[in-house]
Copies of this chain bind each other. A is one copy, B any other.
Amino acid sequence: MLPSKLTGTLARLGEVRIIQIMERAFGESRNTVVGFGDDVSAVRLSADKIAVLKTDMFVGSTDLPPGMTLRQAASKAVVANVSDLAAKGVHPMAGLVALGLPRSLHRSDIEQIARGLSQAAKRYGFPLVGGDTNESEDLTISIALFAIAVRSRMILRTGAGINDLVAVTGEFGSTSAGLQSVLNFGIPPKKLAKDLFEAVYNPTARLDLGLRLAASRVVTSSIDSSDGLAWSLHQISSLNRVGILIDNVPISKPAREFAARHDLRERDLALYGGEEYELVVTISPRNFSKAYRATKGKLKKIGYVTDEFSGVRLRLGGRIVEVKKKGWEHFRS
* Chain A residues engaging chain B, CB cutoff 8 angstroms: 1, 5-11, 13, 15, 18-19, 21-22, 24-27, 29, 31-32, 34-36, 40-43, 45, 51, 53-57, 59, 61-63, 93-94, 96-101, 103-107, 110-111, 114-115, 117-118, 121, 127-138, 140, 142, 144, 146, 148
From B15, B41, B57, B129, A35 is in contact (CB under 8 Å) with B129
A7 to B135, CA, bound (A): 8
B32 near A127: Cβ-Cβ < 8 Å: yes
A129 near B43: Cβ-Cβ < 8 Å: yes
A114 to B107, CA, bound (A): 36
Q: Nearest chain-B residue to A142 (Cβ)?
A: B142
A26 near B127: Cβ-Cβ < 8 Å: yes
A51 near B93: Cβ-Cβ < 8 Å: yes
Q: A22-B117, A32-B127, A134-B62 are in contact. Are A43 and B5 (CB under 8 A)?
A: no
Q: Nearest chain-B residue to A28 (Cβ)?
A: B127
Contacts of A130 in B (CB 8 A): 34-36, 40-41, 53-55
B51 near A1: Cβ-Cβ < 8 Å: no
Q: A26-B114, A45-B148, A53-B144 are in contact. Are A100 and B134 (CB under 8 A)?
A: no
A173 to B47, CA, bound (A): 47
Contacts of A114 in B (CB 8 A): 21-22, 24-26
Smallest distance from the beta carbon of A152 to chain B beta carbons, Å? 19
A22 near B131: Cβ-Cβ < 8 Å: yes
Smallest distance from the beta carbon of A16 to chain B beta carbons, Å? 9
Contacts of A137 in B (CB 8 A): 61, 137-138
Q: Which of A15, A97, A110, A136 has the most B CB atoms < 10 Å from its CB?
A: A136
Smallest distance from the beta carbon of A235 to chain B beta carbons, Å? 15
Contacts of A45 in B (CB 8 A): 148
A134 near B21: Cβ-Cβ < 8 Å: no
A142 to B81, CA, bound (A): 15
8 other contacts beyond A6-B135, A53-B144, with CB at 8 A cut-off? A9-B106, A10-B105, A22-B114, A41-B130, A43-B94, A53-B146, A56-B132, A59-B140
B55 near A100: Cβ-Cβ < 8 Å: no
28 A-B pairs in the complex with CB atoms less than 8 angstroms apart:
A1-B132, A1-B134, A8-B104, A13-B107, A15-B133, A21-B107, A25-B115, A26-B121, A26-B127, A32-B127, A35-B130, A36-B130, A41-B94, A41-B96, A43-B129, A51-B94, A53-B94, A53-B144, A55-B132, A56-B132, A57-B99, A59-B135, A59-B136, A62-B135, A62-B136, A98-B142, A137-B138, A138-B138
Q: A6-B103, A10-B103, A100-B59 are in contact. Are A140 and B136 (CB under 8 A)?
A: yes
Q: Nearest chain-B residue to A61 (Cβ)?
A: B137
A27 near B142: Cβ-Cβ < 8 Å: no
Q: Which of A45, A131, A146 has the most B CB atoms < 10 Å from its CB?
A: A131
